[in-house]
Chain A
Amino acid sequence: MKILLSLAVAAAISLSAASPASAASKIEAIVSPGGIKAWLVREPSVPMVALDFAFTGGANADPAGKPGVANMVSSMLDEGAGDLNAQTFQERMEEKAIEIGFTAARDQFRGSLRSLSENLDEAVTLLRLALTVPRFDAEAVERIRSQLLAELSRSSTNPNEIANRRFWATAFPDHPYGRPSKGTPETVSTITADDLKTYVKSVFAREQLTVGIVGDLSAEAAGKLIDRVFGDLPGKPTLAPVPGRAIQGLGERIVINLDVPQTVINFGGPGVARDDSDFMAAYIVNHIYGAGTHTSRLYNEVREKRGLAYSIRSTLYWMDSANVIVGGTATRSDRAGETLSIIDTEMKRIAAEGPTQDELDKAKAYLKGSYALSYDTSSKIAGQLVQIQLDKLGMDYPERRSAMIDAVTLADAKRVAKRLLDTKSLTVVVGRAQGLNKTN
């Protein structure tokens, strides 16, 4: 059979290092009859299918003067396609309990489909229509525009939104990463149906498409499904190159006064690329510094010991064209200066001394042991299949990951702590912060 012959099924491997015996969790690399690559995990015990995918482009592919186009496209694709107007499209999704969702991330336009196995045919039809022949009817465009404008208006006085926007705008001026992904009231007001169509035409293409599927279906069925959804798309996307960029604004502290009871603080600096040989060490160091829930140094110093905040956390962001570490907290305003001092002190301390052997051992144990928890639902697995491909880590990454973590020595962790955190930060403070001085 022709279809079978054209399916390249690579060796299946165990998905989770913690679960070599888990027969259900096997990644297969498949190529559809039409030549589209995807990763598949067959999961027969729940009668549903989860499909995740990503087109390179995302909000980066917005026209330079019109941020918000990709975000608007993500809200418009299920508002009518092919012969179906918005109402009919929505009715057909609901009748068969089909869930289709889109998001405009910075580097990728992402989508997901969730369907009961028995309704998969209809689900595939609707997703294909949404991606290949979206209508962007005037009625729907205006309706969605007014929703987006209402959201922008609501968030314009939200301290988290204000801090986040200012942080990225300052960190990446004159670069797509500095633009607000959801646009501004001015840009969203001027986006036309043609802008939306142009975006779809230039971004939705078979090349630079990443697909992950989980469900009760064979490799052959998965290949056919992929061709039905994506097969009619053009081959190559038209994407303007996004230049690599280092984070700007280091050493700056921006204070925005806003009459709110609690002060929001965002802080960050340069990160580490996903393919950098120091990445895993940096990931572990950040876990110890600010990412570990209930265990990180920032959590202990700011929340546990002093009760200055309910939440505090730092995160590594590895992107296609820049890498950053960004932290955030919301702290009592009368002691905001103290919170900033502690963040600064902890950053300098870990940069100078690195983590202890005990912290390193515990962080490694956590990161290894908790990995299986990222694979306990079909949707989570589909998301992992896409992310591992985007990160170019290889199908055997889930197997290799534990050894990669174990290979990080204390000397590595100390060296990388210095590399990652011996730097000035960009800090944005929104609220009625008190106790700020020049040194913190």
Chain B
Amino acid sequence: MLIRAFLILALCGLLAAPASRDAAAATAVAQFTLANGMTVVVIPDRRTPVVTHMLWYRVGAADEPPGKSGIAHFLEHLMFKGTAKNPAGRFSQQLAAIGGQENAFTSNDYTGYYQRTSREHLGTLMEFEADRMTGLVLTDDIIASERNVILEERNQRIENEPSARLSEQMGAAQYLNHPYHKPTIGWRHEMETLDRTDALDFYKRFYEPDNAVLVVAGDVTPEEVKTLAEKTYGKLARHGAIGERKRPQEPPQIAERRVTFADLRVTQPSLQRSYLVPSFTTAERDDAYALDVLAHVLGGGSNSWLFRALVMEQRLATNVGAWYQGTSLDASRFGLYGTPASGVALEKLEAAIDTVIASFLDKGPAVEEVERSKARMIADYVYAQDNQSQLARMYGAALTTGQTVADMQARPDRIRAITAEQVRDAARRFLDKRRSVTGYLVKDGQREEKKS
């Protein structure tokens, strides 16, 4: 089997430094595929004798059957409940006994499991993780108890946080047809009904080697990883029954949507807006990179257009900013948020945001602004070289949302190539209110008074 080595050339180009440092700074990332179709990515980091072992599945909340929202995340919890070979708790206990740390995560597009240990235990991690890819055993008692845990997790993350509840409503409003309209953790009324059959059906359908991406970062060589992976994951058969990953797609959005969430506990009103935009995976040409730079120039930190105008000059907001979710298999979102200054109505802040955007669309950003933002964004890829878990997460997320190792490695160069004209052009095409959802978070019982 072929092990392809990629060099992270991003580092070299960025630093614009003498050639001598380039080779030393570059990290060789390897990718190969096991005979059963499982993708493997290896990111060597030889500084400390530890490894990060992450197994990703190309399945998330957006792949759930209708009426079963939350099952992807529920299954993630249930994966810790033991197999025929390794009963409940054995994996976690053995991992703890070797000083390992573990956790798992679920998004709309992927589900991941990871452990971090000293390097010599990598083979053991793979044995356990391969075992639970096919050997999960669930009882009704386990289901009942763990369902309570995910309901408390929903309480902790969403129900107890008014701003999270607004975000949930806005996501639902943005996506009419695509399953991204569901919260990843699920709707409470559906979570309450999830049972053992739902979990096992989902598990048997989506958990198999052909649908998995293994990412190992740390003090290892690609050859070692390949040998260990073939002995463990390589023994698993693919069932090949998943089929193409095709979710219902979103129609073009043609009408602005608005949501207001009122809660008694809101003491500080705020507003959010999101626009339906392409992702790194769905974008044509350089649109995604232009949107990435746009988010930074328009609302990334205190040098951005929105912050300078609304926080520093006009004093209408205490905070304001923008974000872009580029990592997404299907159509994604570009967002704005703002907290009004004391005595400023949300309507007034929103109008001021729209004025800044109109001015941006008209004049466009200065070349220096775009260059400064790009330098900052590209440096993040260098800083990431210092953190093997972060690197593993970046690659895993890319590979489970339709991107490749080469795409990932090209990102700094593609950001570098974006011009001020492209940023303005992207803003003109995508910051169209007809593609947007605007959300207000207000105190229940006293709708925003118009003080201005």
Chain A interface (Cβ within 8 Å of chain B)? Answer: 16, 18-19, 21-22, 24-25, 43-48, 50, 86-87, 90-91, 94-97, 114, 116, 118, 139, 143, 146-147, 149-150, 153-154, 156-157, 159, 258-262, 292-295, 303-311, 330-332, 362, 365-373, 375-379
The contact of A47 among B25, B96, B318, by CB within 8 Å, is B25
Shortest distance in angstroms between A377's beta carbon and chain B's nearest beta carbon?
5
| 10 intermolecular pairs with C-beta atoms under 8 Å apart | A19-B49, A45-B24, A87-B303, A118-B15, A261-B155, A262-B155, A293-B102, A311-B156, A332-B155, A376-B218
A87-B303, A94-B303 known; A310 vs B159 contact (CB < 8 Å): no
Chain B interface (Cβ within 8 Å of chain A)? Answer: 11, 15, 17, 21, 24-25, 45-50, 80, 92-93, 96-103, 116-118, 144-153, 155-156, 159-160, 218, 264-268, 301-303, 308, 311-312, 315, 318-319, 339, 341-342, 372-373, 375-376, 378-380, 382-383, 385-389
Give Cα A201 to B267, complex, Å: 35
Shortest distance in angstroms between A146's beta carbon and chain B's nearest beta carbon?
5
A97-B376, A118-B15, A308-B148 known; A362 vs B159 contact (CB < 8 Å): no
Shortest distance in angstroms between B380's beta carbon and chain A's nearest beta carbon?
8
Are B148 and A332 touching (Cβ within 8 A)? yes
The contact of A372 among B49, B144, B159, B315, by CB within 8 Å, is B49
The contact of A260 among B265, B341, B385, by CB within 8 Å, is B265
A87-B303, A330-B156 known; A303 vs B149 contact (CB < 8 Å): yes
With CB as the reference atom, state the residue of chain A lying closest to B116.
A373
Are A307 and B146 touching (Cβ within 8 A)? yes
Contacts of B45 in A (CB 8 A): 376
A94-B376, A95-B375 known; A154 vs B156 contact (CB < 8 Å): no
The contact of A305 among B92, B145, B373, by CB within 8 Å, is B145
**What 6 pairs between A and B have smallest CB-CB spacing?**
A369-B99, A307-B148, A97-B379, A262-B155, A370-B99, A310-B153
Known pairs A24-B47, A46-B385, A143-B311. 16 more at Cβ < 8 A? A24-B48, A45-B24, A45-B25, A91-B303, A91-B372, A143-B315, A157-B267, A261-B155, A306-B145, A309-B149, A330-B155, A362-B96, A367-B99, A373-B117, A376-B387, A376-B388
A147, A292, A367, A371: residue with the most chain B Cβ atoms closer than 10 Å:
A147
Are A369 and B98 touching (Cβ within 8 A)? yes
A295-B93, A365-B99 known; A259 vs B265 contact (CB < 8 Å): yes
With CB as the reference atom, state the residue of chain A lying closest to B264.
A259
Contacts of B302 in A (CB 8 A): 86-87, 90
Are A150 and B339 touching (Cβ within 8 A)? yes
Give Cα A325 to B412, complex, Å: 46
Shortest distance in angstroms between B74's beta carbon and chain A's nearest beta carbon?
12
Give Cα A19 to B117, complex, Å: 12
Are A90 and B301 touching (Cβ within 8 A)? yes
Give Cα A367 to B97, complex, Å: 9
Are A377 and B386 touching (Cβ within 8 A)? yes
The contact of B152 among A46, A156, A310, A367, by CB within 8 Å, is A310
Contacts of A370 in B (CB 8 A): 99-101
A18-B118, A307-B145, A362-B93 known; A376 vs B50 contact (CB < 8 Å): yes
Contacts of B144 in A (CB 8 A): 307
Are B99 and A368 touching (Cβ within 8 A)? yes
Contacts of A262 in B (CB 8 A): 152, 155-156, 159-160
Shortest distance in angstroms between A23's beta carbon and chain B's nearest beta carbon?
10
Contacts of B379 in A (CB 8 A): 97, 116
Give Cα A376 to B47, complex, Å: 8
Are A47 and B149 touching (Cβ within 8 A)? no
A45-B47, A94-B301 known; A294 vs B96 contact (CB < 8 Å): yes
B11, B116, B148, B152: residue with the most chain A Cβ atoms closer than 10 Å:
B152
Shortest distance in angstroms between B204's beta carbon and chain A's nearest beta carbon?
24
Are B160 and A48 touching (Cβ within 8 A)? no
A45-B24, A365-B98 known; A153 vs B267 contact (CB < 8 Å): yes
Contacts of B149 in A (CB 8 A): 303, 307, 309-310
With CB as the reference atom, state the residue of chain B lying closest to A363.
B96
Are A294 and B92 touching (Cβ within 8 A)? yes
Contacts of A303 in B (CB 8 A): 149
Shortest distance in angstroms between B25's beta carbon and chain A's nearest beta carbon?
5
Give Cα A310 to B380, complex, Å: 32
With CB as the reference atom, state the residue of chain B lying closest to A215.
B386
Are A362 and B49 touching (Cβ within 8 A)? no
Give Cα A178 to B14, complex, Å: 48
The contact of A150 among B92, B319, B380, by CB within 8 Å, is B319
Shortest distance in angstroms between B15's beta carbon and chain A's nearest beta carbon?
6
Are A375 and B48 touching (Cβ within 8 A)? yes
Contacts of A373 in B (CB 8 A): 50, 99, 101, 116-117
Contacts of B312 in A (CB 8 A): 86-87, 139, 143
